């Protein structure tokens, strides 16, 4: 009877599956078939021209097969970027400062939920910045703190970067056995960590440096996190461009690491190969070496690049087999995303746009801002630490500085959906009734008595309640022709250097239009000014041309307009880039503004306040994609202002918004409390208030070394960490070491125990110790395990991070903390044997609160 029932059931199931399969016109559209069979079917139906259009980032749909177009370029470094409103989490370097892999995973899952929610409800889905293939995270190592994109990274250590990258990638992609929520694309593979000449440099890097320093985070992203895609870098290594480096993309990535996903080039790589690297003469000549090396998605500024792929095919440079091999992973990614499947078959298609900026995500952004804050200094004043703010001693609090009202969130950001909370706003929110928080405008950077028009004075044309800024439209031509790339910007204060506002915009001969409402603070004659640049600028207010420097003019161009306080004026600013450097700034001088008077107002407020918070920092004028810092020296005008404040009141807390380390030696020597909040995301001000007012204890730790001066740095073109880069090899005295960060409580480390004193090549050991919160406040401590090879004849790191854990302890509580350590964690790359080896001999195991604050030591011997 059971056999009969099984036959009936099996027959019914088979019949149902057959009918289900028959309902699809093409087998590749049947979600019940194996992905491999679906790919083979689709490949067999595509023409050479259609295949060419599927090998670029902006694919063309195949109408006869009912396949829509698809855009590979989307961003989500710390929130869905460049696609309108989204929850903006702290910048990547800040997220790394949490040293909290669980939080990172939760944030990434929230980001991919928002990406899916926006995609599911967006009629423009599959266009740029609205799709599901995310070009994040950036897991290049920040080998030099002057690098302009340090803010996008997880710091200088390969192990920490690998762990944070793993959590971010797995959070993005989800855990469904069949479908991806989004496809992660770690970048830029490999050794892309300098902006100057990034399009042409091909440095020589030893294989040991590559294997031990530049590659481990990428290997973990591929072999453990199973990243669906990876981006090849603009630069080369060892004289070969990364996008044509067969050893890198085929030998290492696919054969050694088992990668089966898509390799996408950074945008414009074909042009670089011709114009910057100068290896190939024409665009078609770049096609074969890229495809042969292992590239699957060719990203170029030219929307008609497929014609060069077709030309290469027609000239015999590439054949059908090569095209199919290159296209195969791309199609598999689309199938994994459910691109060809009915929405009801894809579980992630049910995610609604209502998740964007939901209460849970805003709360998560605030937690991340709070946990990413690093307390660098907290001296005692009259016997007590200055922080947290003691309400019995502080009744008046002054908030001053360049970053008091402007919350710079960093590059690759969306438009904050939950309100962009500045330092001033956050401290007002958290101060309560007992503390009066006061502010006067900043006198800093008022060169020629001008200042950048604040975000708060702008409203975009399609504003929602509380939204500030302008709509920016960037055109790929100098005369506003073509399809613009549109986004909301905070203000008009851009210096792109030799780059452009968007990788899809050419570096020269582009144009932009900024539109919105201007709402003045004061009634009277306002003066508008522009920089002395070689490009064109025109300003219209209520349709009237009020400032015209469309043709180059020497000196500052000014125009005076009478405006009424609180009134709304239509503003339109046109910009034309003519070549060379690209920058556009719109300044104003409000009525009766005198910088000396404003400075005097600031100092008077500082002098009569119980506590002064001075918010200082950087922005894209100092560090950005396409721009490195020239120095670690803090902006002198900001430092001079801080010194003036300190002269009138020594109860000063400096709050830093920066994306990379700075040499803040004078601050460290003089200012009693220094708080680094990085670029803290939209909830930055609230997260800061949680820390300053003692709602939470700071727990962030530095993922980078803060050096004391430029003299402690190696030359830019030295890529060998063994020469003295990072905490692992630096022999000097840093200002703040890697892993450093203070708390409001104290922790005691004791009773280290290693399960085995002697180990062989197959062993693992357990390292245990006791951690106790000996202070009076609940807090978290990031415990760090470092290892050192004591006897190696080969030059080894002084110490190297191997494990870490964020441990929450109530006041007076203690816990046993344990780490599992594999013997492979003690290896190094043997340049002669071309493999990783573990040498017999003595190793030192160190437990500490930073790379320089080692609390416990023990040893083990490898037989």
> pLDDT (tens digit, 9 = 90+) per residue, 406-436?
888 999 998 898 878 999 999 999 999 999 9
Question: What average pLDDT does range 777-791 have in this prediction?
Answer: 97
Predicted confidence (pLDDT) at residue 648 exceeds the cutoff of 60 = yes
Cα dihedral sign, 208-210-211-213: positive
Q: 425-471, pLDDT tens digit by residue? A: 999 999 999 999 999 988 885 444 578 898 889 999 976 666 889 99
Choice among 113, 144, 157, 266 that is catalytic: 266
Residues forming CATH 2.60.40.10 domain(s) in the chain: 745-862
141 token code pair: 């190592």
DSSP, residue by residue, 262-274 = EEEEPTTHHHIII
Is the N-terminal amide bond of 282 cis, ω within 30° of 0? no
pLDDT at 553: 60
| Residues ≥6 apart with Cβ < 8 Å to 750 | 769, 770, 772, 856
Read off the pLDDT band of 9 (50, 70, 90): very low
Name the helix (H) or strand (E) containing 615: strand 611-617
Closest CA to 422 of 677, 645, 664: 677
Task: List where CATH 3.20.20.300 sits in the chain.
Answer: 2-355
pLDDT at 446: 42
Q: Which residues pair with 385 in a beta bridge?
A: 380
Which structure tokens are listed for 563?
A: 């405006």
Distance CA 691, CA 693 (A): 6
Task: Pick the more confident residue, 650 or 9.
Answer: 650
The CATH fold assigned to 2-355 is: TIM Barrel (3.20.20)
Task: Report the Cα 670 to chain-centroid distance in Å.
Answer: 32
For residue 556, the model assigns a pLDDT of 66
450-592 topology per CATH: Jelly Rolls (2.60.120)
CA 388, distance to chain mean position in Å, is 29
Condensed to tens digits (0 to 9), the pLDDT of residues 85-110 reads: 899 999 999 999 999 999 999 999 99
What pTM was computed for the model?
0.89
Reduce the DSSP state of residue 286 to 3 states and report it.
helix
Domain(s) labelled CATH 2.60.120.380 in the chain stretch across: 450-592
Collapse the DSSP code of 815 into the 3-class scheme (helix H, G, I; strand E, B; otherwise coil) and give the result: strand
Confidence of residue 555 (pLDDT cuts 50, 70, 90): low
825 in active site: no
Structure-token pair, residue 303 = 């929307």
Give residue 500's pLDDT band: very low, low, confident or very high (50, 70, 90): confident
Bridging pattern class, strands 854-862 and 758-759? parallel
- Residue corresponding to tokens 């899916």: 116
The pLDDT assigned to 465 comes to 60
Q: Read out DSSP for 394-409?
A: -SEEEEESTTSS----
Written as six digits, the tokens of 345 are 């078959």
Three-state SS for 485-533 is EEEEECCCEEEEECCCCCCCCCCCCCEEEEEEEECCCCCEEEEEEECCC
Q: In this predicted model, what pLDDT tens digit does every residue of 467-494 receive, in sequence order? A: 889 999 999 999 999 999 998 898 998 8
Task: Tell me how far apart the alpha carbons of residues 482 and 475 are, in angstroms, rounded to a whole number.
Answer: 6
What pLDDT score does 40 carry? 98
Question: What is the average per-residue pLDDT within 633-651?
Answer: 97
Q: What average pLDDT score do residues 625-653 get?
A: 96
Mean pLDDT, residues 123-142 taken together: 93
Q: List pLDDT tens digits, range 111-130.
A: 999 999 999 998 888 888 99
Residues 351, 352, 354: CA angle, nearest 5 degrees: 135
In the predicted structure, residue 801 carries a pLDDT above the cut 80? yes
Higher pLDDT, residue 550 or 51:
51
Residue 322's closest CA among 306, 332, 309, 305? 309
- Is it the case that residue 717 has pLDDT exceeding 60? yes
3-class SS of residue 337: coil
What digits encode the pLDDT tens for the residues 308-348? 999 999 999 999 999 999 999 999 999 999 999 999 999 99
Cβ pair 774, 748 in contact under 8 A: yes
CA end-to-end distance (rounded Å), the chain: 64
Bridging pattern class, strands 854-862 and 841-848: antiparallel
pLDDT higher for 620 or 745? 745
Q: Determine the Cα–Cα distance for residues 673 and 385; give it in Å rounded to an integer.
A: 9
Q: Is 139 left (phi over 0), alpha (psi -120 to 50) or beta?
A: alpha
What homologous superfamily is domain 745-862 in, according to CATH? Immunoglobulins (2.60.40.10)
Residue with tokens 């395990």: 785
Cα 633 from Cα 446, distance rounded (Å): 20
Rounding to the nearest 10 degrees, give the CA dihedral for residues 351, 357, 360, 363: 160
Confidence band for 10, pLDDT divided at 50, 70 and 90: very low
Question: For 166-190, what is each residue's pLDDT tens digit?
Answer: 999 999 999 999 999 999 999 999 9
Q: Give just the sign of the alpha carbon dihedral 771, 775, 781, 785.
A: negative
Residues in the chain: 863
Nearest to 403 by CA among 610, 708, 688: 688
442, 422 Cβ separation under 8 angstroms: no
pLDDT at 5: 43
- Is residue 476 within 8 Å of 504, Cβ to Cβ? yes
- Regarding beta strands 611-617 and 652-657, do their DSSP bridges make them parallel or antiparallel, or are they unpaired? parallel
pLDDT over 60 (residue 13):
no
Question: In angstroms, rounded to a whole number, what is the distance separating the alpha carbons of residues 81 and 118?
Answer: 12
């Amino acid at each position: 009877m059971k056999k009969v029932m099984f036959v009936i059931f099996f027959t019914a199931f088979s019949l149902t599956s057959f009918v289900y399969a028959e309902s699809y016109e093409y087998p590749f559209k049947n979600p019940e078939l194996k992905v491999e069979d679906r790919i083979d079917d689709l490949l067999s139906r595509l023409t050479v021209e259609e295949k060419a259009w599927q090998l670029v980032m902006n694919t063309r749909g195949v109408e006869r097969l009912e396949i829509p177009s698809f855009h590979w370029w989307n961003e989500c470094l710390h929130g869905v970027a460049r696609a309108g409103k989204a929850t903006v989490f702290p910048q990547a370097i800040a997220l790394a400062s949490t040293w909290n892999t669980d939080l990172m995973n939760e944030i990434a899952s929230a980001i991919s939920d928002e990406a899916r929610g926006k995609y599911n409800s967006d009629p423009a889905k599959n266009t740029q910045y609205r799709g599901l293939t995310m070009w994040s995270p950036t897991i290049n190592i920040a080998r030099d703190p002057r690098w302009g994109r340090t803010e996008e990274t997880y710091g200088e250590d390969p192990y920490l970067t690998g762990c944070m990258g793993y959590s971010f990638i797995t959070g993005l992609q989800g855990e469904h056995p069949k479908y991806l929520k989004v496809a992660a694309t770690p970048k830029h593979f490999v050794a892309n960590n300098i902006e100057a000449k990034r399009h042409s440099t091909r440095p020589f890097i030893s294989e040991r440096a590559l294997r031990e320093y530049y590659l481990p985070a990428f290997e973990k992203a591929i072999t453990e996190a199973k990243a669906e895609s990876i981006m090849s870098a603009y630069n080369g290594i060892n004289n070969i461009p990364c996008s044509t480096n067969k050893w890198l993309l085929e030998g290492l990535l696919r054969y050694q690491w088992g990668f089966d996903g898509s390799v996408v080039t950074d945008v414009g790589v074909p042009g670089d190969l011709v114009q910057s690297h100068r290896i190939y003469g024409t665009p078609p000549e770049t096609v074969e070496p890229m495809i042969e090396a292992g590239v699957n998605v060719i990203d170029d500024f030219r929307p008609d690049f497929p014609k060069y792929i077709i030309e290469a095919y027609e000239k015999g440079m590439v054949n059908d087999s090569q095209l199919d091999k290159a296209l195969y992973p791309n199609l598999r990614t689309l199938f994994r995303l459910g691109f060809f499947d009915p929405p009801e078959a894809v579980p992630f298609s049910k995610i609604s746009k209502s998740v964007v900026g939901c209460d849970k995500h805003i709360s998560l952004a605030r937690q991340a801002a709070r946990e990413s804050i690093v307390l660098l200094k907290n001296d005692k004043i009259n016997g007590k630490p200055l922080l947290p703010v003691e309400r019995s001693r502080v009744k008046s609090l002054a908030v001053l500085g360049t970053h008091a009202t402007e919350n710079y969130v960093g590059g690759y950001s969306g438009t904050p959906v939950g309100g962009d909370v500045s330092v001033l706003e956050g401290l007002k929110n958290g101060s309560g009734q007992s503390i009066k928080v006061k502010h006067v405008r900043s006198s800093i950077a008022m060169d020629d008595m001008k200042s950048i028009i604040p975000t708060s004075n702008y409203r975009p044309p399609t504003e929602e309640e509380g939204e500030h800024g302008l709509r920016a439209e960037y055109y790929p031509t100098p005369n506003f022709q073509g399809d613009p790339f549109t986004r909301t910007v905070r203000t008009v204060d851009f210096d792109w250097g030799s780059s452009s506002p968007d990788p899809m915009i050419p570096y020269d001969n582009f144009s932009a239009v900024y539109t919105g409402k201007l709402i003045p603070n004061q009634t009277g004659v306002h003066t508008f000014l522009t920089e002395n640049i070689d490009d064109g600028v025109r300003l219209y207010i209520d349709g009237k041309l009020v400032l015209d420097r469309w043709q180059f003019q020497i000196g500052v161009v000014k125009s005076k307009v009478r405006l009424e306080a609180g009134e709304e004026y239509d503003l339109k600013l046109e910009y034309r880039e003519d070549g060379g450097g690209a920058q556009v700034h719109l300044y104003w001088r409000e009525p009766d503004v005198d910088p000396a008077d404003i400075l005097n107002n600031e100092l008077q407020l500082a002098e009569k306040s119980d506590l002064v918070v001075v918010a200082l920092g950087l922005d894209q004028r100092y560090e950005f994609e396409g721009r490195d810092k020239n120095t670690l020296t803090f902006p002198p005008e900001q430092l001079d202002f801080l010194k003036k404040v300190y002269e009138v009141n020594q109860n000063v807390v400096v709050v830093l918004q920066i994306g990379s380390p700075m040499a803040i030696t004078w601050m460290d020597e003089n200012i009693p409390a220094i708080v680094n909040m990085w670029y803290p995301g939209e909830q930055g001000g609230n997260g800061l208030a949680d820390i300053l007012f003692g709602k939470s204890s700071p727990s962030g730790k530095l993922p980078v070394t803060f050096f004391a001066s430029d003299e402690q740095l190696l030359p830019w073109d030295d890529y060998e960490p063994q020469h003295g880069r990072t905490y692992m090899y630096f022999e000097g005295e840093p200002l703040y070491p890697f892993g450093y960060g203070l708390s409001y409580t104290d922790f005691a480390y004791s009773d280290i125990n290693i399960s085995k004193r002697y180990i062989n090549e197959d062993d693992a050991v357990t390292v245990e110790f006791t951690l106790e919160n000996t202070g009076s406040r609940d807090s978290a401590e990031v415990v760090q395990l470092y290892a050192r090879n004591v006897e190696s004849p080969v030059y080894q790191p002084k110490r190297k991070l191997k494990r870490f854990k964020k441990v929450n302890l109530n006041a007076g509580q203690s816990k046993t903390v344990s780490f599992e350590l594999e013997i492979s964690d003690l290896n190094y790359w043997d340049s002669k044997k071309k493999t990783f080896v573990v040498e017999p001999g003595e190793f030192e195991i160190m437990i500490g609160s930073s790379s320089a604050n080692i609390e416990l030591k023990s040893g083990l011997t490898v037989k």
